[in-house]
Structure formats: structure tokens, C-alpha cells
């Protein structure tokens, strides 16, 4: 069982689920939904947790050859689980996530998003990941869409109020994905994957990642300016911005592995800033 927990990368699943719940909670407050509808946040979390785990599992299935070079300690290349078992686990998790999503809200949009994102996760792992920049954009969308998914539980207005969170999350994730592609360039070249760094080189890719990261920092005050969050958000997001800028410095200093870690840390503090701005008075 431990190898399956490692396969789905449960910490990432929990963080994605938490992001969706934050989006749902913000939408719940903004729309003035009745207290009875707060229960929708549980299936929101479970759906995103399961879909993220399925996406991680199917990604490892298709990336077994690349991981044998870049990350030989992962479950499949290390021989602790077979590719077939990982594929079956992904299918079960995708199906379970879609079924749970059917219990969210009083319209079909959460179910439609869950189905669309599940198929997109599969096609990303099987083919889109190896296409220049499209793979990076796909992951950026999927990351940002967790907030939209949570907001969709509370109708169109819920989607509208979480739109800015979707944008900021998408920019932050896009920057980190490009950095990760720079980090994995050796394995991608050997596997024939035509990623952005493989196509245009590490230095130019670093410029693009830095530009996107700086854009995320510049736009970070928007949730406060549009009165979505309170003053606590500005204080908390300032810390996230420091990590973002340091990650940008590291990628320009040709340290992609360290930069990727700091981008991830910055995104975590960004999520905490969303929570602080929404619920801490």
C-alpha cells in the first residue's frame, strides 16, 4: 500500500484538494449560499484529491523511461510497482473522482469540469507533455482550475469570484513547469520529448520562466484591489512574492533544481495568503 501512496504523491493531492476547498469557501462566502451547502466542500476535496492522484499515477506510467534517467527512485523505474498496476490504479482513481463530483452543487458544471480535466490529465501524460509549451500550459491550467472547480460548486458567480485565483495560480505554475523542464532536459532529450528547453535552449527558457514569475508577482495584489481579499492577504502574499523573486534569481543563476523548490514553496505561501485574505479578520 505504501508504494501506491508514493505513486499518487499524496502530499500534492492534499495540497490540490485544499486549493479547491479554498476556492469553494471563497465562493460560498461571496455567493451567500445557505449553510446546508457547506457540505459540498467535502466532495470538492475528495474529487480533486483522487483526480490529482490519478494524474500522478498515469504520468509515471507514461514517463517510466524518462524517470529511469531523471528519477530512478520512483515506484515504477525502481521496480516496486509494475506499469500495469500503476495504470489500473490511475483508471480506478479517475473513475472514483468523476463519480464523487456528481454530488457537488445543484448543476452539472462540477461534473463536466471533472470529466474534462480527467481526460486532459490522461492526454497530457500520453502526448501533450512532449509538445513544445503546450504541456506547460496544460499543467498550468490544471493547477489553476482547482480554484475554478471549487468555485463551480456555487454557481456561475462562484466561478467569477475565483477567476483571479485561477489566473495567478496558472502563472505561478507555468513558471515552475518551465523550470522543471529545464531541470529534466537530459532525460527529455534521450526520450525524444520536444520540451521548451529542448527546442529553444535552457537560457531562453529561463528568461521566459522569469518573465512569467515576475508577472505573477506584479499581479499578486489584484485580489485585494478588487476587494476579494482583506488586508491580511497583502501581508501574507508579500512573503510568497519574496520566494517567487528568489526562485527567479536562482533560475537566472542556472540553478533549476533549487529554483523549482522555491517556486513550490512560493506557491504554498500563496495558498496560505488566499486563506489569510479570506478568513482571517
In this prediction, residue 130 carries a pLDDT of: 77
In this prediction, residue 170 carries a pLDDT of: 94
What's the Cα-to-Cα distance from 101 to each of 38, 108, 137, 234, rounded to whole Å?
Answer: 15, 9, 24, 33
pLDDT over threshold 90, residue 14: yes
Q: Cell digits for 102? A: 456528481
In this prediction, residue 278 carries a pLDDT of: 77
What's the Cα-to-Cα distance from 223 to each of 19, 184, 230, 277, rounded to whole Å?
Answer: 16, 34, 9, 9
- Global confidence as pTM: 0.87
Please write the tens of the pLDDT for every residue from 140-154: 999 999 999 999 999
pLDDT over threshold 80, residue 99: yes
C-alpha span between 149 and 134 (Å, rounded): 21
In this prediction, residue 275 carries a pLDDT of: 85
Q: Cell digits for 224? A: 485585494
CATH of domain 1-161: 1.10.357.140
Is it true that 1-161 and 163-281 share their CATH fold?
A: no
> Which residues are CB-contacts of 233 (< 8 A; sequence separation ≥ 6)?
223, 224, 273, 274, 276, 277, 278
In this prediction, residue 279 carries a pLDDT of: 66
Do 268 and 18 touch, CB atoms closer than 8 A? no
Q: Cell digits for 112? A: 463536466
pLDDT over threshold 60, residue 281: no
| Residue spans per domain, the chain | 1-161, 163-281
Q: Average pLDDT in the 208-227 region? A: 93
Longest dimension (CA), the chain: 55
C-alpha span between 236 and 125 (Å, rounded): 34
> Which residues are CB-contacts of 64 (< 8 A; sequence separation ≥ 6)?
76, 77, 83
Q: Cell digits for 212? A: 512569467
In this prediction, residue 1 carries a pLDDT of: 61
What's the whole-number average pLDDT of the chain?
91
Residues 163-281, CATH architecture: Up-down Bundle (1.20)
Amino acid at each position: 500500500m505504501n508504494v501506491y501512496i508514493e505513486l499518487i504523491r499524496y502530499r500534492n493531492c492534499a495540497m490540490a484538494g485544499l486549493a479547491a476547498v479554498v476556492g469553494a469557501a471563497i465562493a460560498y462566502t461571496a455567493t451567500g449560499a445557505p449553510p446546508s451547502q457547506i457540505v459540498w466542500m467535502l466532495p470538492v476535496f475528495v474529487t480533486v484529491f483522487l483526480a490529482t492522484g490519478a494524474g500522478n499515477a498515469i504520468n509515471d506510467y507514461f514517463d517510466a523511461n524518462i524517470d529511469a534517467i531523471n528519477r530512478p527512485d520512483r515506484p515504477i523505474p525502481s521496480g516496486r510497482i509494475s506499469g500495469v498496476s500503476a495504470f489500473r490504479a490511475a483508471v480506478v482513481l479517475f473513475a472514483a473522482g468523476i463519480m464523487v463530483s456528481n454530488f457537488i452543487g445543484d448543476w452539472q458544471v462540477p461534473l463536466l469540469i471533472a470529466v474534462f480535466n480527467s481526460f486532459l490529465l490522461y492526454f497530457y501524460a500520453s502526448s501533450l507533455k512532449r509538445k513544445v509549451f503546450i504541456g506547460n500550459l496544460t499543467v498550468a491550467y490544471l493547477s489553476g482550475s482547482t480554484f475554478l472547480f471549487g468555485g463551480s460548486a456555487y454557481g456561475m458567480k462562484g466561478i467569477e469570484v475565483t477567476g483571479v485565483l485561477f489566473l495567478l495560480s496558472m502563472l505561478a505554475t507555468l513558471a515552475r513547469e518551465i523550470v522543471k523542464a529545464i531541470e529534466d532536459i537530459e532525460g527529455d532529450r534521450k526520450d525524444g520529448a520536444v520540451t521548451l528547453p529542448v527546442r529553444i535552449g535552457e537560457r531562453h527558457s529561463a528568461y521566459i520562466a522569469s518573465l512569467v514569475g515576475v508577472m505573477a508577482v506584479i499581479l499578486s495584489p489584484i485580489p485585494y484591489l478588487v476587494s476579494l481579499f482583506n488586508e491580511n492577504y497583502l501581508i501574507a502574499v508579500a512573503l510568497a512574492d519574496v520566494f517567487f523573486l528568489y526562485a527567479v534569481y536562482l533560475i537566472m543563476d542556472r540553478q533549476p533544481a533549487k529554483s523549482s523548490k522555491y517556486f513550490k514553496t512560493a506557491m504554498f505561501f500563496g495558498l496560505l495568503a488566499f486563506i489569510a485574505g479570506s478568513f482571517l479578520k
